[in-house]
């Protein structure tokens, strides 16, 4: 187990270093000068030069790379070119929206997908199975932004139960914040739940045909006991993989939903920062997301080993 853990850890560190170089160089290559962008079309050349110096853009990219990396090690992501506030603070604020949103969506998706997938698998070929699979097919097919707009139309414009978007801030109270995240979380969760339910079903269906299931039934377990004790645990590997991928996607990929609901999350921050050429923010947020994805994958790898003892021994 220790060896398995160590190998995963080394690969995590290497991934991070490679990612930081790729991100930094890609962002340095894209055309567009942040200072010129901020000052607009009437600015004089000397003003642009003064601002470049003020932003620290007049030093070489290599120096800036090491300053950036060095800062990140100590938790200092630098100062945003456009907003002139510490990037760490900005990310922190946005994370307080994106992270709860991703977690709520993931929880909803799992809560829906597990029972539905298990039900469909255990009644394989029945009417229930067909209906559930039909609905999940639909859930996968519906684009989540369209579903989001539909929900705004029904719950915000017609019923007036929720506001059409925005985020009041957690200062306004936990419930107000939760309310603002409800519609976005549901729109994010629906397609994820559909995918997860389908994966759950097919993984479970595969294990139901295994010999050990027949043995389990033969030693006297009823169908439900056999599924809970033996089939489910064996079906977890693909399901965990999907959950890991989904969490990374939900954290970084909520950008369209954040736009529909005008939520000030990480996705929108990065989108704004790219168009404003706020390079330091783009670099730091992307790096953070890469970090999150890599760490989640690491956690999933560890979880595999926990549910499947064979993996521990192999490594």
Partner 1 sequence: MNVKTLTSAIALTLAAGATQAETGLIVGIQLEPPHLDPTSAAAGAIDQVLYSNVFEGLTRFGPDGSVNPGLAESWEISEDGLTYTFKLHEGVTFHDGTTMDADDVVFSLDRARAEDSANAQKALFAEIKTVEAVDPSTVRVTLSSANGSFLFNMAWGDAVIVATESIEDIKTMPIGTGAFKFSNWVQGDQIELVRNENYWGTPASLESATFKFISDPTAAFAAMMAEDVDVFYSYPAPENLPQFEADPRFEVLVGSSEGETILSTNNLMEPFTDIRVRKALAHAIDRQAIIDGAMFGLGTPIGTHFAPHNPDYVDLTANSQYDPELAKSLLAEAGYPDGFTTTLKLPPPSYARRGGEIIASQLRAVGIQTEISNLEWAQWLEQVFRGKDFGLTIVSHTEPFDIGIYARPDYYFQYDNPDFQKLIADLTAETDPAKRSELIAMAQTIISNDYVNVYLFQLAVPTVVKAGVQGIWPDAPTQAIDLTVVSWSK
Smaller CB distance to partner 1: residue 6 or 26?
26
> Smallest gap, in angstroms, from Cβ of residue 249 to partner 1?
20
DSSP for the chain, written as a single string? -HHHHHHHHHHHHHHHHHHHHHHHHHHHHS---HHHHHH-TT--HHHHHHHHHHHTTTS-HHHHHHHHHHHHHTT---B-TTT-SBHHHHHHHHHHHHHHHHHHHHHHHHHHHHHHHHHHHHTTTSHHHHHHHHHHHHHHHS-HHHHHHHHIIIIIIIS-SS-SS----GGG-HHHHHHHHHHHHHHHHHHHHHHHHHHHHHHHHHHHTSHHHHHHHHTT--HHHHIIIIIHHHHHHHHHHHHHHHHHHHHHTTHHHHHHTT---HHHHHHHHHHHT-HHHHHHHHHHHHHHHHHHHHHHHHHHHHH-HHHHHH-
Q: Are 177 and 289 in contact (CB under 8 A)?
A: no
Per-residue binding string, partner 1, 56-95, x by CB under 8 A, is: --------------------------xxxx----x--xx-
Contact between 203 and partner 1 by CB under 8 A: the answer reads: no
Contact range with partner 1 by CB under 8 A, out of 12-20, 113-121, 127-135, 269-277: 269-277
Q: Figure out which of the listed residues 87, 101, 236, 260 binds partner 1, where binding follows CB under 8 A.
A: 260
Smaller CB distance to partner 1: residue 56 or 169?
169
Contact between 143 and partner 1 by CB under 8 A: the answer reads: no
Contact between 241 and partner 1 by CB under 8 A: the answer reads: no
Q: Figure out which of the listed residues 20, 23, 24, 51 binds partner 1, where binding follows CB under 8 A.
A: 51
Q: Figure out which of the listed residues 3, 29, 31, 222 binds partner 1, where binding follows CB under 8 A.
A: 31
Q: Figure out which of the listed residues 265, 270, 292, 293 binds partner 1, where binding follows CB under 8 A.
A: 265
Q: Figure out which of the listed residues 13, 275, 306, 309 binds partner 1, where binding follows CB under 8 A.
A: 275
Contact range with partner 1 by CB under 8 A, out of 41-49, 104-112, 237-245, 290-298: 41-49
> Smallest gap, in angstroms, from Cβ of residue 36 to partner 1?
5
Residues contributing to the site for partner 1 (CB under 8 A): 31-34, 36-44, 46-47, 50-51, 54, 82-85, 90, 93-94, 149, 152-153, 156-157, 160, 163-169, 259-265, 268-269, 272, 275-277
């Amino acid at each position: 187990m220790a060896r398995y853990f160590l190998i995963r850890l080394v690969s995590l560190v290497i991934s991070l270093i490679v990612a930081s170089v790729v991100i930094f160089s890609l962002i340095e290559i894209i055309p567009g000068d942040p200072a010129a962008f901020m000052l607009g079309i009437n600015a004089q050349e000397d003003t642009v030069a003064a601002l470049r110096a003020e932003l620290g853009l007049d030093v070489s990219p290599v120096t800036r790379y090491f300053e950036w990396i060095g800062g990140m090690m100590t938790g200092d992501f630098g100062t945003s070119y456009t907003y002139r506030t510490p990037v760490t603070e900005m990310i922190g604020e946005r994370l307080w929206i994106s992270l709860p949103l991703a977690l709520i969506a993931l929880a909803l998706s799992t809560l829906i997908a597990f029972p539905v997938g298990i039900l469909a698998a255990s009644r394989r070929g029945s009417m229930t199975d067909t209906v559930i699979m039909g609905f999940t097919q639909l859930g996968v097919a519906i684009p989540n932004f369209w579903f989001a707009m539909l929900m705004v139309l029904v719950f915000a414009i017609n019923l007036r139960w929720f506001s059409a978007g925005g985020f009041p801030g957690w200062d306004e109270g936990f419930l107000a914040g939760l309310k603002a995240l409800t519609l976005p979380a549901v729109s994010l969760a629906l397609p994820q739940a559909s995918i997860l339910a389908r994966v759950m079903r097919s993984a479970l269906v595969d294990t139901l045909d295994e010999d050990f299931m027949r043995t389990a039934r033969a030693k006297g377990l009823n169908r439900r006991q056999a599924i809970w004790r033996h089939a489910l645990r064996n079906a977890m590997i693909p399901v965990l993989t999907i959950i890991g991928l989904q969490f990374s996607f939900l954290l970084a990929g909520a950008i369209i939903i954040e736009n529909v609901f005008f939520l000030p999350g990480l996705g929108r921050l990065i989108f704004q920062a790219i168009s404003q050429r706020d390079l330091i923010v783009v670099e730091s947020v992307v790096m953070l997301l890469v970090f999150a994805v890599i760490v989640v994958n690491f956690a999933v790898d560890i979880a595999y080993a926990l549910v499947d003892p064979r993996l521990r021994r192999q490594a």
